[in-house]
Amino acid sequence: MTDTVANAKATPDVTQPWAELGLKADEYRSIREILRRRPTSCELAMYSVMWSEHCSYKSSKVHLARFAQLPKTTPRGPLLAGIGEQAGVVDIGNDWAVTFKVESHNHPSYVEPYQGAATGVGGIVRDILAMGARPIASMDSLRFGRLDAPDTARVLPGIVAGVGGYGNCLGLPNIGGEVVFDASYYGNPLVNALSVGVLKHGDLHLAFARGAGNKVILYGATTGGDGIGGASVLASETFDADGPAKRPSVQVGDPFTEKLLIECTLELFAAGVVNGIQDLGAAGISCATSELASAGDGGMHIDLDLVPLRDNTLTPEEILMSESQERMAAVVEPENLDRFFEICAKWDVLATVIGEVTEGDRLVIDWHGETVVDVDPHTVAHEGPVYQRPMARPDWLDALNADTTASLGRPGNGPELEEHFRRVVVSPNQCDKSWVTDQYDRYVRGNSVLSQPEDSGMLRIDEGTGLGIALATDCNARFTLLDPYVGAQLALAEAYRNVAATGAEPVAITDCLNFGSPEDPEVMWQFSQAIDGLIEGCKILGTPVTGGNVSFYNRTGETNIMPTPLVGMLGVIDNVADRVKSRFQNQGDAIVLLGETRNDLDGSAWAEVIHNHIGGNPPKPCLEAEQALAQVLLRASKERLLSSAHDLSDGGLAVALAESAMLSGFGARMKLPEDTFVALFSETPGRVLVSLPESKLSALSQLCGDLPHARLGTVTDDGALTITGQFAIAVSALRREWAATIPVALKTRPRSAR
């Protein structure tokens, strides 16, 4: 029997499964206080999903609020939409605007790697779409347990195939990202999906439900029983003992439906027939109705019987919580309904009026003619619990910081140095990632200028002027573990530098903050420190945070992941023809290192690969120096001085040099400073390796001014990387080994039982 509002009033003492739905005792108590009665099972379903960590940001809200102090302007002008909207919108000039956002889909991707990753891509694409923008590209930052761990052989191929399968079917190029391996992600891989879209200024749309009498329309896929693992508590155990078996919590995506949804939605926007639009993601109809209603000025009345179902055994609680993919909600004025349905029919998209905007301020939902929900939508969507979680600097941190790399054995001669060089370059975190990225289409739509393995992905936006954008995602979580404040700034600096290295001006960031359990005070301290680091860093760099996502509870058993505040940086380039590639281009070019190298080996790739060591203190970022470096790179790109530019980060000069050579087939003859080991493996930030014709050296030198820069060598065609006085290594052999790391590891591993 259905638990109606009348029934709830009549039976105040019924025991409800709030704990099973993830609510705490005081949260359940405040729901009762808000409603001044017990919630119906449908209301309980709505509050429990909307007040979950994932939807309410209850542990992170107090910290995220600090982002508000950042100016809402980029180096190119004011933001058109910022934090709080479904995605931030940046003015890039020529009447073009770009919207971009990164979101996590970590836990679903562990349970079912293919579908978890696929629906992660689909979800973030709908966020971009809901702003009125055409999605134009994806990027994915993936983190796994060790490459040689058995479950990685299940999770990695599944996730990569899911990202590729969904994105390729949608016709979106995947232009970059990261693949990182670390033991802390075993049992909790990270899938951070970024989507970017483009629109004209006038096409920007914000979601709200305004005007009594306007219709609420659900369109796209039908609603099924997927992604409602939690709701089965309500359906099968408490209210109907003979009800359906426990539902799977997994969702399956259908990219072809999503493609139709994209085209249909863009045409609906263009026709001017929608007042507000919202994608259905986590918490499905619960989220869309309560958010649309509370963003508008009225109430809303929904008739759940009208929701088109894929499975007609669904209970009203399940319909409210279902996370079936490829659905959107729209608010439409009655006189536009015919045109709306006409456009949906053209794209073969199912659309159904499920309710309307009402006078007053209540969200009322009926089922079989009886009211099952009667709430103030604001209390569902925005007045969830807010926690000031306890924070504590981890007591193990001092010991970790004291355990520096100073005592680690360093190579004593040329052959040993060569061995370390080779091992770092071919290690899982530095090796060739083509096995992953070759499963993605990176050229579809015909505007991809750069994609992996370049420092950032780049897209042409305006075919007339060549105006384009660049995107890079970065985070070195080893640094963040050693010092979350500094580590977050280093992630910011690296993404900034990667964008600048390709010739684009960095303008704004999105972030995906992946952390362990917020109920662990040490994790909350890491989280808070990382946010402070990002805010101070963004203030100096002038890049606002346009939005993003927090993912907590990333842990395996009691082991939290390394704090991973991923930064996605957007850059703008006036003419993509000025872009700079990372690989060497011409024999005889001079090789110059921009920036200063210090003795920064703590937390480095060298320490990890050679000594399996993490400890000490991360390098000190100097964001003013990063800015000066970026200015030099931007001017050098505009003046066409550079043949190549490659950011130095993990693995330092060793990896940058090896990649510049391996990707081009050229060799290099290098004369490095006296402490060759530090020169090769130090990870001091603020450095970029460039190559250029000798004739342009003086022009570059002039541009640099006070910025340290040093000629280190020359590009050769002898197929060898020669470090004078130390070693020479054949580029082709190194490349073979570098390219084999992932394929060999995955093929030799037995497929683990599910």
Partner 1 sequence: MARVVVEVMPKPEILDPQGKAVTGALKRLGFSGLSVRQGKRFEIEIEGEITPERIEQATKAADSLLANTTIENYVVRVDG
Active site residues: 54, 105
The answer to the question of residue 168 lying near partner 1 (CB under 8 A) is no
DSSP 8-state assignment for residue 621: P
Tokens 């808000």 sit on residue: 34
* Binding flag, residue 596, partner 1 (CB under 8 A): no
Q: Retrieve residue 382's tokens.
A: 């925005």
Q: Assess 257 for contact with partner 1 (CB under 8 A).
A: yes
d(CA 109, CA 158): 9
Residue among 311 and 403 whose Cβ is closer to partner 1: 311
**For residues 454-473, which are near partner 1 according to CB under 8 A?**
none
Q: Is-cis flag, bond preceding 78, omega within 30?
A: no
Whole-number Å distance between alpha carbons of 60 and 655: 36
CB of 291 to partner 1, least distance (A): 24
State which residue, 348 or 674, has the beta carbon closest to partner 1.
348
Residue choice 204, 252, 444, 740 for contact with partner 1 (CB under 8 A): 252
Q: Is residue 236 near partner 1 by the rule CB under 8 A?
A: no
In whole angstroms, give the CA distance from residue 149 to residue 163: 21
What length is written for the chain? 754
In the list 162, 164, 189, 225, the residue contacting partner 1 (rule: CB under 8 A) is: 225
Q: How far is the CB of 110 from partner 1 (least distance, A)?
A: 11
Q: In the 8-state DSSP scheme, what is residue 283? A: B
Q: Give CA separation, 325 vs 120, 224, 543, in Å.
A: 10, 9, 33
Q: Are 484 and 533 in contact (CB under 8 A)?
A: yes
Closest CA to 514 of 547, 546, 475, 482: 475
Residue nearer to partner 1 on the CB measure, 252 or 282: 252
- Residue 192 gets the label, from left (phi > 0), alpha (psi -120 to 50) or beta, of beta
309 or 744: whose CB is closer to partner 1? 309
Of the two residues 85 and 112, which places its CB atom closer to partner 1 in the complex? 112
Indicate whether 350 belongs to the interface with partner 1 (CB under 8 A).
Answer: no
The closest alpha carbon to 649, from 563, 708, 582, belongs to 582
Binding part of the chain for partner 1, among 53-61, 254-262, 450-458, 701-709 by CB under 8 A, reads 254-262
Q: Is 707 in the site for partner 1 (CB under 8 A)?
A: no
Q: Which of the residues 276 through 335 are near partner 1 (CB under 8 A)?
A: 310-311, 324-325
Contact range with partner 1 by CB under 8 A, out of 41-49, 53-61, 245-253, 297-305: 245-253
Asked if residue 111 binds partner 1 (CB under 8 A), the reply is yes
Residue 188 binds partner 1 (CB under 8 A) = no
* Assigned token pair, 640: 């066409």
Query: In the complex, what is the shortest distance from the CB of residue 55 to partner 1, in angstroms, rounded to a whole number?
Result: 22
Cα separation, 367 vs 354, whole angstroms: 11
Helix/strand/coil for 194: strand
Alpha-carbon distances of 545 from 67, 299, 510, 687, rounded to whole Å? 7, 32, 6, 24
- Which CB, 222 or 352, lies closer to partner 1? 222
Q: Are 366 and 43 in contact (CB under 8 A)?
A: no
Cβ atoms of residues 97 and 185 within 8 Å: no
**Stretch of residues binding partner 1 (CB under 8 A), selected from 108-116, 474-482, 572-580, 714-722:** 108-116
Instruction: Please tell me whether residue 221 binds partner 1 under the rule CB under 8 A.
Output: yes
36 vs 754, which CB is nearer to partner 1? 754
CB 19, min distance to partner 1, A: 24
**Cβ contact 330:276 at 8 Å:** yes
Query: CB under 8 A: which stretch of 220-228, 450-458, 522-530, 556-564 binds partner 1?
Result: 220-228
Applying CB under 8 A, which residues contact partner 1? 111-112, 115, 221, 224-226, 244, 247-248, 250-254, 256-257, 310-311, 324-325, 348, 751, 753-754
